[in-house]
Amino acid sequence: MSARFQTPRGTEDVLPEEQPYWRAIHEAAAEVTRLFGYERIDTPTFEDAALFEKGTGDTTDIVEKEMYAFADRGGEALTLVPEATPAICRAYLEHGLASRPQPVRLFTIARMFRYNRPQLGRLRQFHQFDCEVVGTDAALVDAELIELHWRFYERLGLRDLEIRLGSIDDPEARRAYLDRLREYYLPLREKLSEDSRRRLDRNPLRLLDSNDPGDQALREGAPTMIDDLSPAAAEHFEGVKDTLTAAGVPFVVDPLLVRGLDYYNRTVWEIVPKGDGRQQSSVGAGGRYDGLIETIGGKPTPASGFATGLERVIIEMKRQEVSLVEPQVPDAFVVHAGAEGVRAAVGVAANLRTAGIATMLGEAGRSFRAQMRRANGSGARYAVIVGEDEAVRGVAALKDLREEGDQEDVPLGEIATRLGERFR
């Protein structure tokens, strides 16, 4: 006997009992983006690999280790999309969105792909809710994105989360800090992980974002940037904080917060469970990236955005025991018997669905008793019973499955109206 197929490592099926979480997430995303005036954009599942090599950065884990890069049959170097931001920026350039009133507010919900070591909340195929604002360098917009991000979690019923806010200045102003960071880490080189030793010369800021426990312990003594920002970045950071305070959005300043992607500048943030310490369990994160669009071939264009992994959000929803709307159940279940009963039952079910009443139809070939058991187990409020006798008389027996009482014979053509009145 041949082996049974299974999901590829690092992927998972979303079974019916998990769907209420996904439905809640999509509804929350739709609501908050509507309230803040964002428009949906969807980009391809695969893109030119160079888009991410240039945009995301060649010293990032994504480009160095995690991209699903391949050559297609025409020899084109492609990759499955590992993150949404460069793809959205590519679409902004390709379709001339700069000619629209600025800034442009966009969001997407899409599958992403990264080849990493699968663990809880970290898959090789995963989903992200991503929001981007392109075309402004205003501190107000950074704060707006953080507020939208925060309200999304609130809308889902998540509590006990914390916004960690920081600034990593602009690239030119950051050089002096990077020199200080190298000076701090050079005597500790042998204690660093292999990845961090390799990055110490090329991009020492990445050492502050390392997940290695040894690197994390060394990070606590590293010099900070937040109290020595350039005047422009300091003014911008104060604007973000003031706007968040005015909007009633709580935050804490984290002087060692950086992001793992090379394109960020100025504002960065993460949202994490309270009491997390530095366990790298962020639910979502974002930041400003004023140089990215120029890096991938456009004119200098300021932008800012965030992403949240939906699988990670669901883990947090379960941990916090967030209450969800009950799984969808039918309003009515149509039970039938005999050839004439089947034909009449099919017509009744069609009429009920046309009237907007969710209806399940008993399986052909199943006994009357088996169908009634299925009706009781379905969660339906009413059973509509059509046997041979009822079909001949042109009626159906209406039975309330949640309350004791007699069945009521109702003309077949009036079933939908009668149930509609009861549900109203």
| Alpha-carbon dihedral sign for residues 348, 353, 358, 364 | positive
Residue 419: alpha-carbon gap to chain centroid: 38
Pairing of strands 332-336, 382-386: parallel
Is-contact 80 68, C-beta < 8 A?
yes
Q: Please tell me the distance from the alpha carbon of residue 270 to that of residue 164, in angstroms, as a whole number.
A: 5
The CATH 3.30.930.10 portion of the chain extends over: 16-169+225-319
Q: Where in the chain is the domain with CATH 3.40.50.800?
A: 332-423
Contact residues for 325 (Cβ-Cβ < 8 A; gap 6+): 20, 24
Burial of 341 (0-12, 13-18, 19+ CB in 10 A): buried
Q: Which CATH number fits domain 16-169+225-319: 3.40.50.620, 3.30.930.10, 3.30.70.60, 2.60.110.10?
A: 3.30.930.10
**CA-only gyration radius of the chain, Å:** 28
The per-residue DSSP string of 190-217 comes to: GGS-HHHHHHHHH-GGGGGG---HHHHH
Amino acid, single-letter form, for residue 333: F
**C-alpha–C-alpha distance, residues 214 and 188, integer Å:** 11
- Report the pLDDT value the prediction gives residue 278, as an integer from 0 to 100: 44
CA distances from 185 to 174, 191, 225, 279, 374 (A): 17, 9, 15, 21, 67
The predicted structure's pLDDT at residue 328: 78
Residue 132: its pLDDT value, please?
98
Alpha-carbon span 84 to 261, nearest angstrom: 12
How far apart (Å, rounded) are the C-alpha atoms in residues 241 and 142? 10
Give the burial class of 121: count Cβ atoms within 10 A of its Cβ; 0-12 exposed, 13-18 middle, 19 or more buried: middle
Beta strands 252-253 and 161-167 are parallel
Extract the runs of DSSP E, i.e. beta strands, from 246-376. Answer: 252-253, 265-273, 284-288, 303-309, 332-336, 359-361
* Dihedral pair phi/psi, residue 194, rounded to 5°: -60, -45
H or E, element range at 143: helix 139-155
Q: Which amino acid is at 230?
A: S
Phi, psi for 303 (deg, rounded to 5): -160, 165
Kindly state the helix (H) or strand (E) to which residue 27 belongs, with its residue range: helix 19-36
Q: Which pLDDT tens digits describe the chain residue by residue (424 residues)?
A: 567 899 999 999 999 999 999 999 999 999 999 999 999 999 999 999 999 998 887 667 788 888 999 999 999 999 999 999 999 999 999 999 999 999 999 999 999 999 988 888 889 999 999 999 999 999 999 999 999 999 999 999 999 999 999 999 998 888 888 888 888 888 888 888 887 888 887 778 778 877 778 888 888 888 888 888 999 999 999 999 999 999 999 999 998 887 766 788 999 999 999 876 545 578 999 999 999 999 999 999 999 999 999 999 999 999 999 988 777 789 999 999 998 999 999 999 999 999 999 999 999 888 999 999 999 999 999 999 999 999 999 999 999 998 887 789 999 999 999 999 988 7
**Residue type present at position 115:** Y
Q: How far apart are CA 91 and CA 96, in angstroms?
A: 8
Nearest-angstrom CA–CA distance, 391 and 337: 9
Helix (H, G, I), strand (E, B) or coil at 95: coil
Outline where DSSP puts E strands in 114-217: 125-134, 161-167
Q: Per CATH, is 332-423 categorized as 3.30.70.860? A: no
Burial annotation 375-413 (CB, 10 A radius, 16+ → b, else e):
beebbbbbbbbbbeebbeeebbbbbebeeeeeeeebebe
Cα distances (angstroms) measured from residue 57 to each of 54, 224, 296: 6, 23, 11
Residue entry with tokens 């990493």: 116
